[in-house]
Structure 1
Amino acid sequence: MCKMAYDVTHTISSLYYKGYASLTKIQRIEWNNRGMSSAHAIFIMVMSLYLVFFSDLFSDRIEGLAIFRSSSLSIFTLGVSVGYFVSDLAMIFWLYPSLGGIEYVLHHLLSATAISYAMLSGEGQLYTYMVLISETTTPGINLRWFLDTAGMKKSSAYVVNGVMMFIAWLVARILLFIYLFYYIYLYYDQIRQMHTFGYLLTFLVPAALFIMNMMWFIKILRGLRKTLAKRQ
């Protein structure tokens, strides 16, 4: 799926964006890579929302602890996500630091480790999917880069995207994580029944990601302020 999304981005961009051919080799690779990133984000966002809020997998209607529930669909979905993070991490290492610095490496390593554990052990998939909902912000981040690279930094689309990105980040990467921590507190009696490694991941990974989310959120806020100030 990831390779297909990368190739589709290349094909569509070549046909419909005249400036694509004038991009540098690194820019074209990042352009295609961000297309792959957006495809994964949309897929995992839809599946995470479905599994957490609309399916019966983690609902109270099913007996047994939600912390130990999984299904063939939930395992498959996590497998796709692991494939994306591993392939994207390989590209980051290959072109380091063009596609991202140490913070991206840390983010992907933590994500790949936690998702792999949930997929292979069947433990903590509910919390894993709650964290993966935060991928909602990724298409907006990528669109911001696309617009900037295409020379549309002064366009209305760039400003609107910046505002929407700020709102999405606040909801999906700040407020959602605060709710997740509260949820972990409420169901701590279930979490302590996990294996030690899974137990540690449940606390350490969301905490580390939340710290990074707050750091990036401050940068987004500063960038939005500068953009709005220039429009006045």
Structure 2
Amino acid sequence: MEIKSYQNQAEQLVKEYLLADSFIPYTSVICGICASKMVYDVTQLFSNVYFKSYPSLSKVQRTEWSNRSMSTFHAIFITVMSLYFVFWSNLYSDHQHGSLITFRSSALSTFTLGVSVGYFLSDLGMIIWFYPSLGGMEFVLHHLLSAAAVAYAMLTGEGQLYTFMILISETTTPGINLRWYLDTAGMKRSRAYLINGVVIFVTWLVARILPFIYLFYHLYLHYDQVKQMHNYGQLLIFVVPLVLSVMNLMWFGKIIRGLRKTLAKRQ
């Protein structure tokens, strides 16, 4: 009976506080940070047991190994959720006449964005702490812009649809991380490395170039609704996608050059 009483109290605490609308943003951010930390620690333990080459890596390489595992898990989670909200959920459908599309949100969409904010904060903290081992200033800029835009959409409920459109670009992260793992494992000349390069090229085009074109087109079609957002929200909704799209095009150029070199060496 005593155990049942504690269980009921715990369930009531979760419903009334942790999952209450006003607490969802803060709860979800904490969940994102804790999940990132858990994946990082589990990766270290798992890799020590199942990967023979892991102990021989340098300290920086072991840190990046676990860090990339953390980013891969976040990418899978946020890609699935973003695709659901953008293409399958009725929350942001034009046929929903309850409110303007730029102001629609739900407990699930807000929680999802909060988890992503928690990840970006965790990863940004690691990038700064180990700077520049885990990435240069472009990664710091990318994470700052992403965290600011996602946090704004989470806290205000404004522009969540466009935030999820941008987050679809995380689809490319697992392939990029796999490329680093293959390189670190000494498999740079393997067929898997070549296939990985082709997959990155395709997914980058599909997930980081085309969605931004669709996003700007969608903004144009719904500009009358976008104008009703707060000035800060409008600034984020135009500036962040523009900056990220330019960065994506620059990185895409590097991917094309790298793929050409790889194919040339195999001819």
Q: Which interval holds the TM-score relative to the shorter structure?
A: over 0.9
Distance 1:157 1:7 in 2: 27
Q: Give the Cα–Cα distance (whole angstroms) in 2 for the partners of residues 220 and 203 of structure 1.
A: 26
CA deviations 1:142-173 (Å, max 9, x no partner) are: 00001001100001110000000000001111
Equivalent of 1:165, from 200, 210, 229? 200
2:115 equivalent to 1:80: yes
TM-score, L = length of structure 2: 0.86
Q: Which residue pairs with 2:25 in the alignment?
A: none
The sequence identity of aligned pairs, in percent, is: 70
- The residue aligned with 1:220 is 255
- CA–CA distance in structure 2, aligned partners of residues 8 and 220 of structure 1: 31
Tell me, yes or no, if structure 1 residue 119 matches structure 2 residue 149.
Answer: no
Aligned length in residues:
232
CA–CA distance in structure 2, aligned partners of residues 10 and 55 of structure 1: 36
Question: Which segments of 5 or more consecutive residues in structure 1 lack a partner in the other structure?
Answer: none
The residue aligned with 1:17 is: 51
Question: What's the TM-score once normalised by structure 1's chain length?
Answer: 0.98
TM-fit CA distance, 1:5: 1.4
Tell me which residue corresponds to 2:104.
69
Work out which of the residue numbers 221, 227, 243 in structure 2 matches 1:208.
243
Separation of aligned partners in 2, 1:155 and 1:13? 22
What is the 5 A alignment of 1:185-204? Answer: 185-204=220-239
Structure 2 gap segments, 5+ residues each: 1-34
| Residue identity opposite 2:62 in structure 1 | R
| Aligned-partner Cα distance in 2 for 1:75–1:201 | 17
Aligned to 2:71: 37
Deviation at 1:61, TM superposition (A): 3.7
Tell me by how many angstroms 1:75 deviates. Answer: 0.6
| SS of equivalent residue, structure 1 residue 58 | coil
RMSD of aligned alpha carbons: 0.8
SS in 2 for 1:151: coil
